[in-house]
Structure 1
Amino acid sequence: MTLVTIAQLYPAELGITGDRGNVRAIERRLAARGVETTTVLVAPGEELPRELDVLVIGNGPLSALRGVHADLIARKGRLDEFVADGGVLFSVGGSAELLGERLDAPDGETLDGIGVLPYRVVRVSERRVGYIIVDTPHGPVVGFEDHASEWTLTDAASAYGTVRDGHGSFGRDEGRGEFVRVGNTFASNVQGPVLPLNPELTDVLVDAVAERRGLTLSPARRSDLDEYAEAARTKILMRPTRDKGFKTIQV
């Protein structure tokens, strides 16, 4: 029996924007392709599973990032090894900021990132809030953004999506961008949670797992979740640009 192992790191500390939903989407999508899964919740100080296929890390406030920072830094060697071996890592919001090279907080504090992804993050005074549509190589990704961070890419080739509507996380001069991808590691500020809304993006992760493990996947079976996602995506994609309600909030 083939068993894919998923871990959610810091679910209590970094799980405030429906991040468990991203885990469930991966579980359901793999099940629809004929693959059984097991999911492990990993708290600070606990070991990641030795045999790990997918790692999900969610969103949290700056106070939570400070709280898990030392624990994450201690995991750098294990995460570097996992990423280099082609493991799938999906990170949203605050955790994504710590996967980069550096996070500059509003109070002048600097938190070193673990350098898995090539960008630096600065917390800014304007909070970007609203629906977002991102064009990626695998189709449009929709969701909701609510963040006050500006990413500066140190490797432009890592940009994975271009913002069609919304603000995005990076790119001041040549159009806004959202989603960074290096190998099978993905980072974004798109919330929602994002994966249940975007089955095609979830399939990118599932296909990466299958390729790494040498799995043959069954054809996907359409489910009620696909119907819900399609209905929600249609509403977001049809929002008129002039009425999309995207805002910045001074903080």
Structure 2
Amino acid sequence: MSGALQLVELYTRHLAINGDMGNTLVLTERARLAGIDVEVTRYNPGDELPEQVDLVTMGSGPSSALRAVADDVARIAGTVRGWVDSNVPFLAIGGGYQLSGTSITGLGAEPIEGLGVFDAVTDAAASRAVTACFVVDSDLGRLVGIENHGSVTALGAGERALGRAVTGRGNDGGGFEGARAHEAIGTHMHGPMLAMNPAVADHMLSVAAAAHGLEYVTNDAHARLDTLAAATRAHLDPSGAVARARGEA
């Protein structure tokens, strides 16, 4: 077994808008600061997936990109679901979150079949939701980022949401955002999400490192990055209105 964690970034050429592939950079840099190497495989349609996988990221893209990768999604879906069932940390953002569900409608005559990581159906023909200070309370803490999507997502009866949307539409305006399955996270949150919410990155790295026989321990260098993240989160909500609304300030 290689001493480095193996990270697969899915559909780098197609799902790289909104800076969401920055989540890969956050994971690799925070791992490096903890003395752990990460080898990144940037996967595109038709490529072969590596045999060993410790972390997976997937960013966002326009509707044309979702259609462009649809056939390949069907090809690799079983493999990706196997990773998730084995508790490999997986992060899918925006369009990647939609592709990680059961299906996407509203992008053509026929639905696009997703990876099936989450029991979730997305209607991509909804009105656009843009939230400059998108806040979600989750069991990984309070998450802060930016929401920008023209879709509504319905979770299956037994599927767990990532958290409760304090602001913004979230999945469908009903108060919940994203999805969780094993160590997989799907969300509409941009930022990049992990740069704004380093606690999520640390959770993913801790799980991946432990499965690989390594220990992930943060240090002062991480704390300095966390200070920048906290300042950025505060910049999105300079008045503190969200915190006051929840009785935290």
Normalised to the residue count of structure 1, the TM-score between the two structures is 0.88
Find the counterpart in structure 1 of residue 246 from structure 2: none
Query: In the superposition, relative to structure 1, how do residues 231 and 17 fare at CA in structure 2: closer, same or farther (>3 Å)?
Result: same
Equivalent pair of 1:165/1:241 in contact (CA under 8 Å):
no
1:19, distance to aligned residue in structure 2 (A): 1.9
Q: Deviations over 1:52-110 (max 9, x none)?
A: 11111110111111100001110012112211211111101112112111111155431
CA distance in 2 between partners of 1:9 and 1:76 (Å): 12
1:50, distance to aligned residue in structure 2 (A): 1.2
1:240, distance to aligned residue in structure 2 (A): 5.3
How do 1:75-86 residues align onto structure 2 when only pairs under 5 Å count?
A: 75-86=76-87
CA distance in 2 between partners of 1:118 and 1:239 (Å): 37
Find the counterpart in structure 1 of residue 194 from structure 2: 195
How do 1:93-132 residues align onto structure 2 when only pairs under 5 Å count?
A: 93-105=94-106, 107-131=108-132, 132=134
Indicate the SS of the match to 1:216.
Answer: coil
Out of 153, 160, 163, the residue aligned to residue 161 of structure 1 is 163
Indicate the SS of the match to 2:117.
Answer: coil
Structure (1 or 2) with the greater strand fraction: 1
CA distance in 1 between partners of 2:159 and 2:63 (Å): 28
Equivalent pair of 1:93/1:147 in contact (CA under 8 Å):
yes
Find the counterpart in structure 2 of residue 145 from structure 1: 147
What one-letter code is carried by the residue in structure 2 that aligns with 1:20?
A: M
CA distance in 2 between partners of 1:7 and 1:106 (Å): 27
Match status 1:178 vs 2:177: yes
Indicate the SS of the match to 1:91.
Answer: strand
Find the counterpart in structure 1 of residue 231 from structure 2: 231
CA distance in 2 between partners of 1:134 and 1:191 (Å): 12
Find the counterpart in structure 2 of residue 246 from structure 1: none
RMSD: 1.9
Point out the more displaced range, 189-198 or 220-229: 220-229
CA distance in 2 between partners of 1:226 and 1:109 (Å): 44
Q: Deviations over 1:195-233 (max 9, x none)?
A: 111111111211221232232223333344322211111
Normalised to the residue count of structure 2, the TM-score between the two structures is 0.89
1:32, distance to aligned residue in structure 2 (A): 2.4
Equivalent pair of 1:133/1:237 in contact (CA under 8 Å):
no
CA distance in 2 between partners of 1:107 and 1:80 (Å): 25
CA distance in 2 between partners of 1:204 and 1:179 (Å): 17
CA distance in 2 between partners of 1:66 and 1:204 (Å): 32
What one-letter code is carried by the residue in structure 2 that aligns with 1:162?
A: R
The number of aligned residues is: 239
Equivalent pair of 1:55/1:90 in contact (CA under 8 Å):
yes
1:14, distance to aligned residue in structure 2 (A): 0.7
What one-letter code is carried by the residue in structure 1 that aligns with 2:213?
A: G
CA distance in 2 between partners of 1:106 and 1:44 (Å): 20
Indicate the SS of the match to 1:186.
Answer: strand
User: Sequence identity, in percent?
Assistant: 28
Task: List alignment gaps of at least 5 residues for structure 1.
Answer: 243-251
Equivalent pair of 2:11/2:45 in contact (CA under 8 Å):
yes
Equivalent pair of 1:152/1:171 in contact (CA under 8 Å):
no
